[in-house]
Structure 1
Amino acid sequence: MFKSNIEIEFKTAVDKEKYLEMLHHFNLQDNIFLQTNYYFDTKDLELNKNDIVLRIRKKGDRFKVTLKKQGEKGAFENHVFLTKEQAEEMIKNGFNTKDYFKDLDYDVTFKASLDNYRVSTPYLNGKLFLDRCDYHEKTEYEIEFEVDNYEEGEIEFFELLKQFDVTFVKTKRKSERALK
């Protein structure tokens, strides 16, 4: 099944203490789930250089391949749900993007993975995510806020940061961090 959407999100890195403070404030410590992102690119990382993310996400026993292209005020996402066997085959042997996304023709292989221990909760007019990301023997923490309206979401995000005394730190995409 093919699905498209526009993702509008705001995010910042936080330290472990702030992550734990917010986790407890929203009473989310018992709702953490693991999703693993498997990132793909060409041998020359052409997709990453062009602000395109290609990943398979494993969440529980569900898998989907996502193509994400950054726009000015959000990312255009296309998703295709996969069977476990399809996903494992793609991770092991790579694939051609045209098999899943007709407008893109690259041979890609698995490059890196990132384990994201995530919680989410509705917050104002969006959805708040608290993430602990493990990759390359590193652990990082971040806050993401997904919304439908860019201008409204930006105001709410910065009000959230002010409420919790969080300094905004521009962060790279998870894929960029994992692919380094």
Structure 2
Amino acid sequence: MAKETEIEEKNLLTRNEFDMLADTYQIKPPQFFWQANTYFDTPALEIKEQGAALRVRTKSNNYELTLKQPASAGLLETNQTLTEVEAKRLMEQAELPEGEVKESLHPFIGDTSMLQKLGTLETYRAQTSHETGILFLDHSVYLDTEDFELEIEGSSEEEVRKWLTSILTDHDIPARPTPNKIKRFFTRKQELAR
């Protein structure tokens, strides 16, 4: 189990911009790997309403439960490795395993038995080290939608902001408001519910 602060900046891309950046950074199709984020909340979306998110990430038959919550800089992530049995129990019955994530979730919801699975967002992701951070290219598929995204992670907000601005300027890509994946997922889910 671990807690870490994640400092990142994102920008949505068109398919052509995504392909151009993959070519620029010499990222080939075999470098993309699959991962899936399955999101959970209460029926009243109590976790979301407090600016936090709860997910299970599945990647290469590994499962990690993560609570993301606002921090003074970036997001505070509380991570907990799950066994396959724990992950399946959570994904099929919304039964949260004991551990640091469940303890960290108590300020957001009082009763974890109210959790329900909201859905899954699949991402094909590639990453490369660059300067003092990491550049990610993500192709995500969720509900009836797909999108493309550039994400930069680094050690300070100023650093990642400058780096992202430089990439966008160098490649004539417009800066676009880019909510994180779970917010895009929730937005689309609400649009489909209308």
TM-score by length of 2: 0.87
1:40-78 CA distance string (max 9 Å, x none): 001111111111010000011110000000235300001
Structure 1 position 97, deviation (Å) = 7.6
Question: Does residue 1:44 correspond to 2:51, yes or no?
Answer: no
Distance 1:35 1:43, change over 3 A: same
Percent of residue pairs bearing the same amino acid type: 26
| Residue 131 (structure 1) aligned to one of 113, 125, 138 | 138
Distance 1:127 1:57 in 2: 19
Distance 1:87 1:97, change over 3 A: closer
Q: Which residue is equivalent to 1:28?
A: 27
Stretches of structure 2 lacking an aligned partner (at least 5 in a row): 190-194
**Secondary structure at the residue paired with 2:76?**
strand
Map 1:1-180; keep pairs closer than 5 Å: 2-29=1-28, 30-96=30-96, 99=99, 100-105=101-106, 106=109, 107=112, 108-179=115-186, 180=189
1:96-132 CA distance string (max 9 Å, x none): 4865331323321211110010000001111000000
Distance 1:98 1:165 in 2: 48
Q: Which residue identity does 1:48 align to in structure 2?
A: K
**Secondary structure at the residue paired with 1:13?**
strand
Distance 1:75 1:144, change over 3 A: same
TM-score by length of 1: 0.94
Q: Which residue identity does 1:137 align to in structure 2?
A: D
Q: Which residue identity does 2:151 align to in structure 1?
A: E
**Secondary structure at the residue paired with 2:172?**
coil
Distance 1:122 1:94 in 2: 36
Distance 1:143 1:45 in 2: 28
Stretches of structure 1 lacking an aligned partner (at least 5 in a row): none
1:127-157 CA distance string (max 9 Å, x none): 0000001001211001000011221221111
Cα RMSD after superposing both structures: 1.4
Q: Which residue identity does 1:163 align to in structure 2?
A: D
Distance 1:95 1:63, change over 3 A: same
Count of equivalent residues:
179
**Secondary structure at the residue paired with 1:44?**
coil
Q: Please say if residues 125 and 153 of structure 1, whose CA atoms lie closer than 8 Å, have aligned partners that are also in contact.
A: no
Moved more, 102-111 or 84-93: 102-111
